[in-house]
Structure 1
Amino acid sequence: MKIKNPSYDIIALSSSLICAIHCAAVPIVLSFSSLASLHFLHHPLIEWSFILIGIVFVFVSLWPSYKKVHHSSRPLSLVALGFGLIALGRLDFNEIWEVLNTVSGAILVSAAHYVNWKLLRSVKEHEH
């Protein structure tokens, strides 16, 4: 059984990049006093929603692609490292620690979906 729709990776890649931008920009935006009313953007519910969406896409896209199509562990390794960094960012040392680890982790999760998408395309091209 082939993975017919690699658009899950495009959606996941986009959501991971949005997460990285969100995590990098919110501390900067909140530092401006006139934008302090946007503090709701730094709410844990929003942050955990991004994380849960990312985990869902691992099981919807990366795992089935690995098992059924390309058998390359590179996307899974990248996503594991990415979520590991995001988890390290949850340790409350300081804000810079959180931002650096979370943004780096989100970029790695996005890279995992990009690599997966490229692998799916290369398998599809070899089939024709």
Structure 2
Amino acid sequence: MKIKNPTYDIIALSSSLICAIHCAAVPIVLSFSSLASLHFLHHPLIEWSFIAIGVVFVFVSLWPSYKKAHYKLKPLLIAGCGFGLIALGRLDLNELWEVANTVTGALMVSVAHYVNWKLLRATGNHTNCKS
């Protein structure tokens, strides 16, 4: 089975960046009264969906790359720290706490996929990672 890690990393990096933008922009957008009808964007289902997609991409991209290609823990550690910050943001102590931790965590997950992509390119396994 061939796994196209660079494609997964690019999709995962993009989805993590979208998550960070979503988490940073929603409080600002919702503060405008004319846009208050967009409150569904702050729904927990949407937020947990972003988190679930991120976890899926860790198992689809980062883990196989580590096990079969570059053997470097750095992307997994960065992603783990990112998800840790996202989890801290879920404590919902206040709005700033949630936004700061979630955005920083999502950016760290994006960086993890970028680092993974760079490691795959450096090892020459940037096209496919065979199982």
Give the alignment's TM-score, normalised by structure 2.
0.92
* Structure 1 residue ranges without an equivalent (≥5): none
Aligned residues: 126
Percentage identity across paired residues of the two chains? 81
CA distances 1:21-73 after superposition (whole Å, capped 9, x unpaired):
00000000000000001000000000000000000000000000000000000
Distance in 1, Cα, partners of 2:15 & 2:54? 8
SS in 1 for 2:30: helix
Length-normalised TM-score, structure 1: 0.94
User: How far off is 1:16 after superposition?
Assistant: 0.0
Work out the CA distance in 1 between the residues paired with 2:32 and 2:64: 44
Kindly state the Cα deviation for residue 6 of structure 1 after the two structures are TM-superposed: 1.4
| Gapped regions of structure 2 (runs ≥ 5) | 126-131
SS in structure 1 at match of 2:124 = helix
How far the C-alpha of 1:5 sits from its partner, in A, is 3.9
Computed over aligned residues only, the root mean square deviation of the Cα atoms, in angstroms, reads: 1.6
* 1:2–1:68 Cα contact (<8 Å) kept: no
**Which structure 2 residues correspond to residues 60-79 of structure 1 after superposition, within 5 A?**
60-79=60-79
Q: Which residue of 2 aligns with 1:45?
A: 45
Structure scoring higher RCO (CA < 8 A, sep ≥ 6) equals: 2
Return the offset for 1:92. 1.6
User: Matches of 1:124 and 1:2 in 2, distance apart?
Assistant: 15
Partner in structure 1 of residue 15 of structure 2: 15
State the 4+ residue runs in structure 1 displaced beyond 2 angstroms: 1-5
Does residue 85 of structure 1 match 2:73?
no
More helix by share: 1
Which AA in structure 2 matches 1:89?
Answer: G
What displacement does 1:4 show?
4.1
Contact 1:70/1:119, CA 8 A, preserved across alignment: yes
